[in-house]
Chain A
Amino acid sequence: AQSVTQPDIHITVSEGASLELRCNYSYGATPYLFWYVQSPGQGLQLLLKYFSGDTLVQGIKGFEAEFKRSQSSFNLRKPSVHWSDAAEYFCAVGEMEYGNKLVFGAGTILRVKS
């Protein structure tokens, strides 16, 4: 079965510092990969996606992610974190053979220190 692992439950970074959130997946075929962000009490907002092609993908709010097939990873990065980035971040892999189904990681809660 497909699975997604986000090894860090909580991460704290200082405002202005760089950020990297880790994501590893288990999937037999070419994966469809996503990063979503959720603020408290809100739904999920799509940050970026990887379907194919260039392994470095750019998203909204200055985020980027790199797909590394050899490491089964899709880590999310941001060069300079803002206080408004504090939220929970979810990595997901799409099981797309029979439709649209996302398998999510457990999430990483980001706290930003001022």
Chain B
Amino acid sequence: KAGVTQTPRYLIKTRGQQVTLSCSPISGHRSVSWYQQTPGQGLQFLFEYFSETQRNKGNFPGRFSGRQFSNSRSEMNVSTLELGDSALYLCASADRTRGEQYFGPGTRLTVT
């Protein structure tokens, strides 16, 4: 089975812009979660989608949003980018609740 894929792998944006990141889960997995990884804050949970519904949300401002499509692919959007949004954004998929999560390679976002 192919693993979790994320596109793009690298992205450079300017403050104030918005960005959309994409994640394709492992085939058959209906749960997709997003995490932000920074040197200062470590790995932090953003949100989880399951069967197109947001099921859980971390402590991030409303500028961070996401959605999931009927094929389980997910996108996350960050509006009005700030320098502090520079991070590695990781997507993970699972086949069920309380299942182990498998991570993609991440999207490295740099905000200048």
Cβ contact within 8 Å between B42 and A100: no
Digit string of B89-109 for contact with A (CB within 8 Å is 1, else 0)?
Answer: 010101001111111111010
Residues of chain B within 8 A (CB-CB) of A105 are 42
Cα distance A98–B33 when bound, in Å? 13
Among B48-56, B60-68, B74-82, which stretch is in contact with chain A?
A: B48-56
**Residues of A within 8 A of B (CB-CB), count:** 25
Whether B43 sits at the interface, judged by CB under 8 Å, is yes
Main secondary structure of the interface of B (DSSP, over half): strand
Residues of chain B within 8 A (CB-CB) of A42 are 105-106
Cα distance A104–B88 when bound, in Å? 15
Cβ contact within 8 Å between A43 and B100: no
Tell me which of B4, B42, B94, B99 contacts A104 (CB under 8 A).
Answer: B42
Q: In whole Å, how far is B59's beta carbon from the nearest beta carbon of chain A?
A: 10
Cα distance A64–B13 when bound, in Å? 41
Question: Which B-chain residue is minimally distant from A36 (CB atoms)?
Answer: B103
Cβ contact within 8 Å between B105 and A43: yes
Q: A43-B90, A104-B43 are in contact. Are A49 and B100 (CB under 8 A)?
A: yes
- Other A-B pairs beyond A34-B100, A90-B43, A100-B97, 4, CB < 8 Å: A36-B103, A98-B55, A101-B33, A107-B43
